[in-house]
């Protein structure tokens, strides 16, 4: 099947790109477009042409999957220049999302018509790139430098009407006849002079704009350099002709493309799309019908989950045996809707319609009509078992019973229900109405259709549902133990908490481990540890955290934890009392204090993640290393431009990672630093975690 088709309607040629799923500009598409231009140019019976796409969208960009491969002519910039210089009028008909190279191709054409629902944008910056096929030169010529910079630095698409007002789109077609209108438009302009984007003069610009944007970007982009390159290219467009401007742009694009930042961001993009594909599940697996959801537990998590389900169009009943708890939960849900309306996220009418689907009850047996029950009660096995025993009795046959536990044994909870095949883990991350990640924990007995339904449910909530196996902490929290352990040990060894946090945040983590602990509440981990009987026999293990909790220093919620939070401030401040507590405990344990080098802080915390991630792959708890990356980028603030812990280790080189882990084993002992066999095997065979398939 050809990915480009050429036909004529009277004296108008119609080029149709048909390259599912998003008409990405693969090599075949680029070559096909050039062939079509050649045929149209040599046909005297054709006066003008329309470029359209089959399927759900106009071209959504260059083919991201081709980036790692050797580039093939024709390169996209050459295609765009050929369009711009073409001798007959070219009309692009845009529907869906004309993004990246797709919008560049459209700007190479001489006119752009858009369906009313179309969106246009240059999101390359999200991939650590810049528009590399003329976008940084053509867009400023259409909309001016300032608006062009805003679109390219934000990476956000804009709707058709604002795009018309800005000068990107010539006409918006509000009925469903985009192609018919485009062909009629082509007939109208067939004999008119051709308005080439390359010949448009740049609107005047205050050159101070570029320095202003450089300062903004430096403050906000955490060391990413694609934004600065975009500014350089637009600045070049002010004075350069199109060809030399595009040569400048090409060099800048190649520099971005070669960067580890872009490799990480492109990995993140593809990993998030592969992670939601359930491994070892037949595509034809049926999905159970879910309309009515019951959430049990009206705390912060339960209310956030209820809100997420309501905004996705489900009916929701929130249960809690405590009347005060229900009152608080209902208040939280209503407050979230009020906030959404206030921020313009949804209309009052929509909020009212969703809230009409919301109910509460203190009767935990009121579950008979539930298609899906999500338990979000206190993180205690006995409490959860009681809830699931009750659900096993009162839920209808076929109802799915999900636990939101963040660490506990899903199989044990499932057994308590008496219907383990209907039980699954849905580990939402807090705050549940904001965090995209859900770990879908597949129990030993979980039925395939329960798994398929859960994956579809996560998609309905517009969340990233990643299927993981059942073990303590599943993937994310199991790895968090190793990351936190090293933080705790380094505190005792002499690294101040504020320094550890600064070093890791500077490295790219959204928050340092000590600030995260204060945010979540240090008592949460403390209580979880008290429930375990498999902790390492090591008096240093989370000892600082234990002492803080035992002194009532629980974190932000008590105004002090590892750090101080004065007068309700959210800004952590170093606390000399805590440092003294650490020093005293280190002395008691006979730990010699030292200056812990910054690279050691980073490597012990990050390779702590990597080694535990390797064990998770060995145990089959995660199907792909990329799934682990998705979990840590979306649940724990791991920097996207580093691609997640496993991709980062691959980018460093597993031989180097393995050598560093062996050094830590030799210095700190094999209890925590014996290299996982998988890491040793991959390092010895010059392979990567990306190569690993269980």
- For 183, half-sphere exposure in the C-beta direction (CA atoms, 13 angstrom radius) is 14
Give which of 468, 446, 465, 460 is closest to 276, Cα–Cα: 465
Among 21, 204, 576, 590, binds ligand T1G (CB under 6 A): 21
Task: Work out whether 249 is an interface residue with ligand T1G (CB under 6 A).
Answer: no
Q: Would you call 11 helix, strand, or coil by DSSP?
A: coil
Pick between residue 100 and residue 572 the one whose CB is nearest to ligand T1G.
Answer: 100
Q: How far is the CB of 183 from ligand T1G (least distance, A)?
A: 25
Hey, how many other C-beta atoms are within 10 angstroms of the C-beta on 363?
Answer: 9
Task: Work out whether 283 is an interface residue with ligand T1G (CB under 6 A).
Answer: no
Task: Work out whether 650 is an interface residue with ligand T1G (CB under 6 A).
Answer: no
Give which of 135, 184, 118 is closest to 25, Cα–Cα: 135
Task: Work out whether 455 is an interface residue with ligand T1G (CB under 6 A).
Answer: no
E strand intervals along 395-554: 400-403, 423-428, 437-441, 464-468
Task: Work out whether 127 is an interface residue with ligand T1G (CB under 6 A).
Answer: yes
Taking the C-alpha atoms of residue 14 and residue 9, their distance in angstroms, rounded to an integer, is: 7
Give residues 43-62 in contact with ligand T1G (rule: CB under 6 A). Answer: 60-62
As beta bridge partners, residue 375 has 296, 403
Taking the C-alpha atoms of residue 576 and residue 573, their distance in angstroms, rounded to an integer, is: 10
Enter the tokens of residue 663: 């050094």
Task: Work out whether 22 is an interface residue with ligand T1G (CB under 6 A).
Answer: yes
As beta bridge partners, residue 510 has none
Which range of residues in 96-104, 227-235, 365-373, 641-649 is near ligand T1G by CB under 6 A?
96-104
Q: How far is the CB of 449 from ligand T1G (least distance, A)?
A: 22
Task: Work out whether 133 is an interface residue with ligand T1G (CB under 6 A).
Answer: yes
Q: Would you call 424 helix, strand, or coil by DSSP?
A: strand
Enter the tokens of residue 388: 């699931």
Among 32, 89, 123, 140, binds ligand T1G (CB under 6 A): 123
Q: How far is the CB of 104 from ligand T1G (least distance, A)?
A: 6
Pick between residue 75 and residue 668 the one whose CB is nearest to ligand T1G.
Answer: 75
Which range of residues in 19-27, 33-41, 308-316, 328-336 is near ligand T1G by CB under 6 A?
19-27
Which range of residues in 42-50, 124-132, 337-345, 485-493 is near ligand T1G by CB under 6 A?
124-132
Among 101, 228, 264, 484, binds ligand T1G (CB under 6 A): 101
DSSP strand pairing (97-99 vs 119-121): parallel
Among 3, 6, 15, 24, binds ligand T1G (CB under 6 A): 24
Pick between residue 24 and residue 649 the one whose CB is nearest to ligand T1G.
Answer: 24
Pick between residue 265 and residue 420 the one whose CB is nearest to ligand T1G.
Answer: 265
As beta bridge partners, residue 228 has none
Q: How far is the CB of 59 from ligand T1G (least distance, A)?
A: 8
Distances (CA, A) of 112 to 43, 86, 95, 512: 23, 15, 11, 47
Q: How many residues at the interface with ligand T1G, by CB under 6 A?
A: 24
Task: Work out whether 140 is an interface residue with ligand T1G (CB under 6 A).
Answer: no
Distances (CA, A) of 62 to 27, 53, 100, 670: 9, 14, 7, 47
Residue 498: what are its φ and ψ, rounded to 5°? Answer: -70, -30
Give residues 151-180 in contact with ligand T1G (rule: CB under 6 A). Answer: none
Task: Work out whether 135 is an interface residue with ligand T1G (CB under 6 A).
Answer: yes
Cβ–Cβ < 8 Å for 589, 540: yes
- For 494, half-sphere exposure in the C-beta direction (CA atoms, 13 angstrom radius) is 11
Which range of residues in 18-26, 37-45, 242-250, 328-336 is near ligand T1G by CB under 6 A?
18-26
Pick between residue 106 and residue 616 the one whose CB is nearest to ligand T1G.
Answer: 106
Among 32, 89, 108, 132, binds ligand T1G (CB under 6 A): 132
Pick between residue 65 and residue 532 the one whose CB is nearest to ligand T1G.
Answer: 65
Pick between residue 197 and residue 360 the one whose CB is nearest to ligand T1G.
Answer: 197
Task: Work out whether 76 is an interface residue with ligand T1G (CB under 6 A).
Answer: yes
Pick between residue 65 and residue 588 the one whose CB is nearest to ligand T1G.
Answer: 65
Cβ–Cβ < 8 Å for 488, 545: yes
Task: Work out whether 561 is an interface residue with ligand T1G (CB under 6 A).
Answer: no
Pick between residue 21 and residue 204 the one whose CB is nearest to ligand T1G.
Answer: 21
Indicate which residues carry an active-site annotation.
Answer: 104, 124
Q: For the chain, what's the residue count? A: 694
Among 131, 297, 302, 608, binds ligand T1G (CB under 6 A): 131
Task: Work out whether 97 is an interface residue with ligand T1G (CB under 6 A).
Answer: yes
The contacts of residue 537 (CB under 8 Å, 6+ apart) are: none
Q: How far is the CB of 77 from ligand T1G (least distance, A)?
A: 8
Distances (CA, A) of 78 to 86, 250, 365, 485, 596: 12, 11, 67, 53, 53
- CA 341, distance to chain mean position in Å, is 24
Taking the C-alpha atoms of residue 608 and residue 484, their distance in angstroms, rounded to an integer, is: 9
Task: Work out whether 120 is an interface residue with ligand T1G (CB under 6 A).
Answer: no
Taking the C-alpha atoms of residue 433 and residue 351, their distance in angstroms, rounded to an integer, is: 15
Pick between residue 157 and residue 645 the one whose CB is nearest to ligand T1G.
Answer: 157
Taking the C-alpha atoms of residue 644 and residue 630, their distance in angstroms, rounded to an integer, is: 7
What is the binding site for ligand T1G (CB under 6 A)? 21-22, 24, 60-65, 76, 97, 99-101, 104, 123-124, 127, 129, 131-133, 135, 273
């Amino acid at each position: 099947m050809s990915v480009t088709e050429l036909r004529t309607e009277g004296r108008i040629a119609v080029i149709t790109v048909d390259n599912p799923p998003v008409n990405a500009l693969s090599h075949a598409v680029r070559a096909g477009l050039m062939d079509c231009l050649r045929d149209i140019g040599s046909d005297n019976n054709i006066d003008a042409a329309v470029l359209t796409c089959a399927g759900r969208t106009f071209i959504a960009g260059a083919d991201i999957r081709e980036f790692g491969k050797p580039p093939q002519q024709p390169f996209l910039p050459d295609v765009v220049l050929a369009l711009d210089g073409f001798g007959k009028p070219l009309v692009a008909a845009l529907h869906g999302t004309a993004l990246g190279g797709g919008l560049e191709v459209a700007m190479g054409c001489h006119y752009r018509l858009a369906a009313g629902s179309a969106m246009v944008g240059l999101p390359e910056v999200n991939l650590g790139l810049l528009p590399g096929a003329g976008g940084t030169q053509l867009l400023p010529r259409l909309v001016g430098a300032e608006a062009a910079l805003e679109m390219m630095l934000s990476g956000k698409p804009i709707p058709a009407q604002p795009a018309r007002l800005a000068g990107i789109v010539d006409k918006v077609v509000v009925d469903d006849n985009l192609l018919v209108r485009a062909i009629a438009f082509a007939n109208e302009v067939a004999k008119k002079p051709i308005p080439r984007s390359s010949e448009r003069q740049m609107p005047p610009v205050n050159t101070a704009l570029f320095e202003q944007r450089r300062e903004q970007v430096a403050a906000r982009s955490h060391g990413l350099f694609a934004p600065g390159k975009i500014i350089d290219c637009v600045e070049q467009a002010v004075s350069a002709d199109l060809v030399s401007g595009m040569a400048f742009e090409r060099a800048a694009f190649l520099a971005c493309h070669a960067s580890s930042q872009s490799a990480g961001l492109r990995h993140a993009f593809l990993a998030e799309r592969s992670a939601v594909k359930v491994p070892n599940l037949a595509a034809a697996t049926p999905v159970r019908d879910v309309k009515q959801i019951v959430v049990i537990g009206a705390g912060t998590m339960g209310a956030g989950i209820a809100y997420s389900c309501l905004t996705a169009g489900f009916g929701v009943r929130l249960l809690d045996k405590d009347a005060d708890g229900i009152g608080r939960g209902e208040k939280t849900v209503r407050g979230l809707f009020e906030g959404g309306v206030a921020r313009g996220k949804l209309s009052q009418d929509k909020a009212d319609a969703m809230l009409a689907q919301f109910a509460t009850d203190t009767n935990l047996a009121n579950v008979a009509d539930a298609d899906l029950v999500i338990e979000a009660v206190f993180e205690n096995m006995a409490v959860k078992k009681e809830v699931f025993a009750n659900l096993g009795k009162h839920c209808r046959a076929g109802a799915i019973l999900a636990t939101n536990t963040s660490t506990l044994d899903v199989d044990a909870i499932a057994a308590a229900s008496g219907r383990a095949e209907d039980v699954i883990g849905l580990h939402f991350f807090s705050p549940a109405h904001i965090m995209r990640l859900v770990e879908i924990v597949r129990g030993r007995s979980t039925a395939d259709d329960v798994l398929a339904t859960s994956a579809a449910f996560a998609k309905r909530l517009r969340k990233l549902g990643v299927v993981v196996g059942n073990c303590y902490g599943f993937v994310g929290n199991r790895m968090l133990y190793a990351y936190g352990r090293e933080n705790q040990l380094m505190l005792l060894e002499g690294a101040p908490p504020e320094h550890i946090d600064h070093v890791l945040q500077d490295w790219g983590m959204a928050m340092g481990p000590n600030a995260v602990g204060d945010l979540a509440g240090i008592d949460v981990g403390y209580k979880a540890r008290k429930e375990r009987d498999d902790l390492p026999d090591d008096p240093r293990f989370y000892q600082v955290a234990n002492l803080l909790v035992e002194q009532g220093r629980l974190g932000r919620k008590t105004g002090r934890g590892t750090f101080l939070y004065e007068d309700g401030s959210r800004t952590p401040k170093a606390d000399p009392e805590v440092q003294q507590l650490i020093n005293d405990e280190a002395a008691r344990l006979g730990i010699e204090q030292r200056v812990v080098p910054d690279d050691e802080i980073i490597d012990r915390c990050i390779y702590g993640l990597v080694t535990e991630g390797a064990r998770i792959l060995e145990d089959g708890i995660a199907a792909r290393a990329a799934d682990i990356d998705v979990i840590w980028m979306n649940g724990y603030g791991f920097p996207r431009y580093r691609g997640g812990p496993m991709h980062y280790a691959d980018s460093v080189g597993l031989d180097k990672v393995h050598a560093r882990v062996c050094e830590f084993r030799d210095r700190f002992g094999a209890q925590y630093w014996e290299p996982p066999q998988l890491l040793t095997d991959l390092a010895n065979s010059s392979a990567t975690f990306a190569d690993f398939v269980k």
